[in-house]
Amino acid sequence: MSTQPDTDFLSRAEGISYPNFSFDISYKDPKSRARLGRLETPHGGLDTPNFIFCGTKASIKGLHPQQVKDAGADIILANTYHLMIQPGADIIEKMGGLHKFMNWSGPILTDSGGFQIYSMGEGVNADEIKCRNNKSNRKPSLNKITEEGATFRSYKDGSKLFLSPESAMEIQRKLGADFVVQLDECTAMHVSEQYTEDSMHMSHRWGDRSLKAFDEKHNGKQAVYSVVQGGIFQNLREESAAFSASRPFFGTALGGTFGGNFDQFFEIVSWCVPHIAPDRPVHLLGIGTFRDIFQCVRLGIDTFDCVSPTRVARHGWALMKGAPNERLNLLNAKYKTDQDPLWPELGIAASSQYSKAYIHHLFKAKESLGGQIVAQHNVAVMSLLMTEIRQAIKDETLDQLEKEWIPS
Amino acid sequence: MSTQPDTDFLSRAEGISYPNFSFDISYKDPKSRARLGRLETPHGGLDTPNFIFCGTKASIKGLHPQQVKDAGADIILANTYHLMIQPGADIIEKMGGLHKFMNWSGPILTDSGGFQIYSMGEGVNADEIKCRNNKSNRKPSLNKITEEGATFRSYKDGSKLFLSPESAMEIQRKLGADFVVQLDECTAMHVSEQYTEDSMHMSHRWGDRSLKAFDEKHNGKQAVYSVVQGGIFQNLREESAAFSASRPFFGTALGGTFGGNFDQFFEIVSWCVPHIAPDRPVHLLGIGTFRDIFQCVRLGIDTFDCVSPTRVARHGWALMKGAPNERLNLLNAKYKTDQDPLWPELGIAASSQYSKAYIHHLFKAKESLGGQIVAQHNVAVMSLLMTEIRQAIKDETLDQLEKEWIPS
């Protein structure tokens, strides 16, 4: 297979059209880059800024799709890396695609697999990329990355697998999500500038190969996002953002490491945004605290995704407007006899029909219903956050809203 | 505390009245003891024969109460033994009782704790009592049983606990279920006739003490069941059934061992039924296969309970009318690309909106939604079974219905 892309149409940003997709910006905040938009897909539309909930293996942990919808979610994502291994893209295609397979009729995004191959391969880098300090004992499963693609081992049975920009597109075509993402190499913070630059250039070439593969089987049902890399280096981030803008991607995703602390994170995002295509939707990969979202909405980010709302639910952490650390820890003994529900106004059973005492009991008794209740609550809280952010952009009250969600 | 009951009112079957409860038998099968009944409680009524779904720790494993209700369940049970340890009866009382605590507005039954103390204490006897051949490595936690009551260790923290007939009633009063059960010693098959007889007589004395304790705080909100013991010995079973009938219990539960195989099981149940009070509801503790239910409905059993519908769901076993072994094993590779849902006519999302292929995938991917889907399906199947059994009793087509559910 040739690794030299046909650059004829790829060198023009308008080289691929997406007739069944649109992104319309209806309002721009005069004081920041924050904006209101509307994304339309063959599976319906959504207002932006918005949050994409993670259904890694074609399931939002412990929730029926209807419960996810009832909690206000508009769009979800699934992971190419996990699904190519279990159940496999061919099976999902045969079953009519992800929407039908998992019974979610709204928009879906699939990532390219690049992040998981890297983070699961190296074990520690997912935490590093997300500015966490956890140590992981996960065994590296990445074999090698070459110009051709990434060779890695299945997390399931250890078998050898290969993902190229072309096969990542092919797999995502079979999965059938509305939004797909180019394959990239996700670099971590500890690597050198030279490595980061070389890798970024390869990710750009992979971007072109992804576009070409996408275009060859373009059926109007999918739209493809670039990934901006460049690590913690301003010149590389700017170059990568500009490269993305020069290519006919539908949307722009910001990926890779965002540094070692939150200030650096915001700085890196702010380097990218002036150079990306201003009229395309911008997705920030894997970021999801209230604080991150407020700050990045101001930088012009349109969509976010993060596993944390459903992951922390399994630890008994209920996201809460105005709470210290943005959450209540329902395992705390003070909830043992707390008769109050989590948040009745959210309008779902999870947040209104169970006392904190009962949810506390379910966690203490190791009953899975506890995690299910908190997961749906957390989806509802994130959905409300995004709804209120959209209203606040319109009302120019974003600073005030941020103080309500994150009191200092 | 005196262990000599006041037998003045206890020796008359009409010695306690249950003004807010009723059991009316509307139809008797001319060919068997099968009957149609209506049980009324302060939390609504239910038609019998019916199935009581197990919410051991105040949660039906992985299901919201509304999902249990949507699946057709009329009544659930919770376990005194588990709840007295976590969260404790005082907390549930403070939270307004079990119905409010777990958000289930229909009838609830709590058992007395006797079975769990015994089965968890001995480790193996739960299997023996249920005619299973499993070996358990569970560490015995029962200290001793005396005339006064049972001393045992908490499964949670090893602390020493004591349960007497009086405290079992007091705890169940605090839990606030509609139906409560006397404390009994649950004897296994391997013990001698002498031990079984002595134990049975103690259980009878415990029954009287339970009734006395119940009567002292009788608030009209609860009704109490006896437990018939006597092991595998016909004379003892008959004596125990007759003793129950002589005392002012609201209902009769059949407990203890039912022998080593299914023929012996049916024989033991059939020894009891001619001697129990014919106008009281009869509950068979811990039994729940299709075959057991058909057979025992013919013996006059009105209600059943068993953890199996929700327990086997977690192993990917979907109960199914007419299937070999009464179920499909969704982990089987043949379901990998099976587009069909489990049973659309059941009218719930779990049985109609997900393909077997998707559920198979969820189990393979270790996604908890798989177990949740099958658990709700299994509740719906058991509920349908009971509905069809009631109709068949009325139509005198029970034999025909049994062949549909369990083809030979």
Q: How far is the alpha carbon of B307 from chain A, nearest alpha carbon, in Å?
A: 14
For B216, residues 6+ apart whose C-beta sits below 8 A from its C-beta are: none
pLDDT, residue B5, reads 52
Q: How far is the alpha carbon of A7 from chain B, nearest alpha carbon, in Å?
A: 40
In a domain, B352, yes or no: yes
| Chain mean position to CA A93 | 22
Helix axes B398-405 and B369-395, enclosed angle (nearest 10): 160
Q: Residue A78: pLDDT above 70?
A: yes
Q: For CA atoms B70, A351, A371, B156, give the dihedral sign.
A: negative
Candidates B156, B174, B367: best to mutate against A (most CBs of A within 10 A) is: B367
For A251, residues 6+ apart whose C-beta sits below 8 A from its C-beta are: A23, A179, A223, A224, A225, A226, A280, A281, A282, A283
pLDDT, residue B159, reads 87
- For the CA atoms of A379, A384, A389, A392, what is the dihedral angle to 10 degrees? 180
Range of the domain at A176: 22-305
> Burial of A249 by CB count in 10 Å (0-12 exposed, 13-18 middle, 19+ buried)?
buried
Cα B404 to Cα B408: distance, rounded to the nearest angstrom: 9
Q: How far is the alpha carbon of B96 from chain A, nearest alpha carbon, in Å?
A: 9
Element (H, E) at B235: helix B234-245
Average pLDDT over residues B353-368: 98
Which residue's structure tokens are 């369990």? B406
For A212, residues 6+ apart whose C-beta sits below 8 A from its C-beta are: A5, A6, A10
Tell me: do A104 and A176 sit in the same domain: yes
Q: How far is the alpha carbon of A94 from chain B, nearest alpha carbon, in Å?
A: 8
Measured between beta carbons, which residues in chain A are less than 8 angstroms from residue B355?
95, 101
Cα B329 to Cα B325: distance, rounded to the nearest angstrom: 10
The number of residues in chain A equals 408
Q: Which residues of A are catalytic?
A: 111, 305
pLDDT, residue B12, reads 76
Structure tokens at A308: 């944390």
Tell me: do B316 and B211 sit in the same domain: no
Cα B335 to Cα A279: distance, rounded to the nearest angstrom: 45
Q: Residue B122: pLDDT above 70?
A: no
| Chain mean position to CA A25 | 21
Three-state DSSP state, B77: strand
> Burial of A406 by CB count in 10 Å (0-12 exposed, 13-18 middle, 19+ buried)?
middle
**Torsion-angle region of B322 (φ positive above 0: left; ψ -120 to 50: alpha; else: beta):** left
pLDDT (tens digit per residue) in B156-202:
888 888 999 999 999 999 999 999 999 999 888 888 999 999 999 99
Q: How far is the alpha carbon of A181 from chain B, nearest alpha carbon, in Å?
A: 23
Tell me: do A163 and A130 sit in the same domain: yes
Lowest mean pLDDT: which of A151-165, A243-257, B276-290? A151-165
Q: In whole angstroms, how far apart are CA B290 and each of A302, B56, B306, B406?
A: 54, 21, 11, 7
Residue A328, strand partner residues: A318
- Cβ atoms of residues A165 and A209 within 8 Å: yes
Element (H, E) at A193: helix A193-216
Cα B345 to Cα B358: distance, rounded to the nearest angstrom: 19
Structure tokens at A125: 């880098």
Candidates B70, B79, B93, B95: best to mutate against A (most CBs of A within 10 A) is: B95
pLDDT (tens digit per residue) in B229-261:
999 999 999 999 999 999 999 999 999 888 888
Decide if A364 and B86 are in contact by the 8 Å CB cutoff.
Answer: yes
Average pLDDT over residues A77-104: 97
For A94, residues 6+ apart whose C-beta sits below 8 A from its C-beta are: B337
Measured between beta carbons, which residues in chain A are less than 8 angstroms from residue B337?
91, 94-95
DSSP state for residue A60 in the 8-state scheme: -
Q: What pTM value is reported for the model?
A: 0.94
Q: Residue A52: pLDDT above 70?
A: yes
**Amino acid at position A372, single letter:** Q
Q: Residue A157: pLDDT above 70?
A: yes
Neighbours of A331 (CB within 10 A): 14
Residue B163, strand partner residues: B150
Round the average pLDDT of chain A to a whole number and report it. 92
Decide if B91 and A355 are in contact by the 8 Å CB cutoff.
Answer: no
Last residue of a domain, one of A243, A278, A305: A305
DSSP letters of B162-188? Answer: EE-HHHHHHHHHHHT-SEEE-------
- Cβ atoms of residues A110 and A92 within 8 Å: no
Tell me: do B110 and B35 sit in the same domain: yes
In a domain, A378, yes or no: yes
Q: Residue A189: pLDDT above 90?
A: no
In a domain, B152, yes or no: yes
Tell me: do B326 and B206 sit in the same domain: no
Average pLDDT over residues B343-369: 97
Measured between beta carbons, which residues in chain A are less than 8 angstroms from residue B349?
64, 66, 103
In a domain, A9, yes or no: no
Lowest mean pLDDT: which of A37-46, B61-70, B146-155? B146-155
Q: How much is the ipTM here? A: 0.94
> Burial of A135 by CB count in 10 Å (0-12 exposed, 13-18 middle, 19+ buried)?
exposed
Q: Which of A66, A87, A95 sits opposite B364 (nearest CB)?
A: A87
- Cβ atoms of residues A385 and A292 within 8 Å: no
Q: Grade residue B6 by pLDDT with cuts at 50, 70 and 90.
A: low
DSSP state for residue A355 in the 8-state scheme: B
- Cβ atoms of residues A36 and A394 within 8 Å: yes
Cα A177 to Cα A262: distance, rounded to the nearest angstrom: 31
pLDDT, residue B127, reads 47
Q: Grade residue A141 by pLDDT with cuts at 50, 70 and 90.
A: low
Tell me: do B357 and B249 sit in the same domain: no
CATH number for the domain that contains residue A168: 3.20.20.105
Q: Grade residue A256 by pLDDT with cuts at 50, 70 and 90.
A: confident
pLDDT, residue A120, reads 63
Q: For CA atoms B378, B379, B383, B384, give the dihedral sign.
A: negative
pLDDT, residue B137, reads 45
Tell me: do A181 and A211 sit in the same domain: yes
In a domain, A12, yes or no: no
Q: Residue B34: pLDDT above 70?
A: yes
Which residue's structure tokens are 């991150």? A292
φ, ψ dihedrals at B51, nearest 5°:
-120, 135
pLDDT, residue A26, reads 98
Q: Residue B143: pLDDT above 80?
A: no
Q: Residue A99: pLDDT above 60?
A: yes
pLDDT (tens digit per residue) in B197-229:
999 999 999 999 999 999 999 999 999 999 999
Q: Grade residue A70 by pLDDT with cuts at 50, 70 and 90.
A: very high
Q: For CA atoms A51, A56, A60, A64, give the dihedral sign.
A: positive
Measured between beta carbons, which residues in chain B are less than 8 angstroms from residue A371?
368
Q: Residue A85: pLDDT above 90?
A: yes
Tell me: do A219 and A312 sit in the same domain: no
- Cβ atoms of residues A246 and A209 within 8 Å: no
CA neighbor of A305 nearest in space, from A386, A203, A407:
A386
DSSP state for residue A139 in the 8-state scheme: P
Q: Which of B91, B336, B373 sits opposite A87 (nearest CB)?
A: B336
Round the average pLDDT of chain B to a whole number and report it. 92
In a domain, A402, yes or no: no
CA neighbor of A252 nearest in space, from A276, A274, A221:
A276
Q: Grade residue A182 by pLDDT with cuts at 50, 70 and 90.
A: very high
Q: Which residues of B are catalytic?
A: 111, 305
Lowest mean pLDDT: which of A229-243, B135-149, B390-404? B135-149
Residue B252, strand partner residues: B226, B282
CA neighbor of A34 nearest in space, from A200, A273, A328, A367:
A273
Average pLDDT over residues B370-381: 98
For chain B, how far is it from start to end, CA to CA, in angstroms? Answer: 56
Write A149-154 long-range contacts (CB < 8 A, 24+).
A149/A183, A150/A114, A150/A117, A150/A183, A150/A185, A152/A117, A152/A120, A152/A121, A154/A85
Q: Grade residue A128 by pLDDT with cuts at 50, 70 and 90.
A: very low
Last residue of a domain, one of B251, B283, B306: B306
pLDDT, residue B284, reads 96
In a domain, A7, yes or no: no
Measured between beta carbons, which residues in chain A are less than 8 angstroms from residue B102?
358
Please report the beta strands in B236-385, taking only residues with DSSP state E, as ranges in sequence order. 251-254, 282-284, 303-306, 317-319, 327-329
Tell me: do B71 and B158 sit in the same domain: yes
Split into its structural domains, chain A has a count of 2
**Amino acid at position B11, single letter:** S
Q: Residue A137: pLDDT above 60?
A: no
Tell me: do B286 and B179 sit in the same domain: yes
Lay out the sheet containing B160-163: strands in order across.
Answer: B142-145, B150-153, B160-163
Measured between beta carbons, which residues in chain B are less than 8 angstroms from residue A368?
61-62, 368, 371-372
pLDDT (tens digit per residue) in B297-340:
999 999 999 999 999 999 999 999 999 999 999 999 999 999 99
Candidates A60, A68, A91, A361: best to mutate against B (most CBs of B within 10 A) is: A361
- Cβ atoms of residues B129 and B257 within 8 Å: yes
pLDDT, residue A190, reads 85
Q: Residue A200: pLDDT above 50?
A: yes
In a domain, A201, yes or no: yes
- Cβ atoms of residues A359 and A394 within 8 Å: no
Which tops the pLDDT comparison, B168 or B15?
A: B168
Q: Ranked by mean pLDDT, which of A123-137, B108-122, B341-355 comes out on top?
A: B341-355
Cα B284 to Cα B241: distance, rounded to the nearest angstrom: 13
Last residue of a domain, one of A305, A336, A353: A305
pLDDT, residue B112, reads 86
Q: What angle do CA A65, A68, A73 make, to 5 degrees?
A: 125
Tell me: do A288 and A367 sit in the same domain: no
pLDDT, residue A6, reads 57
| Chain mean position to CA A139 | 24
For residue A341, whether the previous peptide bond is cis, meaning omega lies within 30 degrees of 0, is no
Q: Grade residue A144 by pLDDT with cuts at 50, 70 and 90.
A: confident
pLDDT, residue B136, reads 42
Decide if A361 and B66 are in contact by the 8 Å CB cutoff.
Answer: no
Q: Which of B59, B66, B361 sits opposite A86 (nearest CB)?
A: B361
Which residue's structure tokens are 């995704």? A305
Q: Residue A273: pLDDT above 50?
A: yes
pLDDT, residue A84, reads 95
Tell me: do B235 and B317 sit in the same domain: no
The number of residues in chain B equals 408
CA neighbor of A97 nearest in space, from A117, A78, A112, A82:
A78
pLDDT, residue B141, reads 64
Cα A236 to Cα A201: distance, rounded to the nearest angstrom: 9
> Burial of B158 by CB count in 10 Å (0-12 exposed, 13-18 middle, 19+ buried)?
exposed
pLDDT, residue B382, reads 98
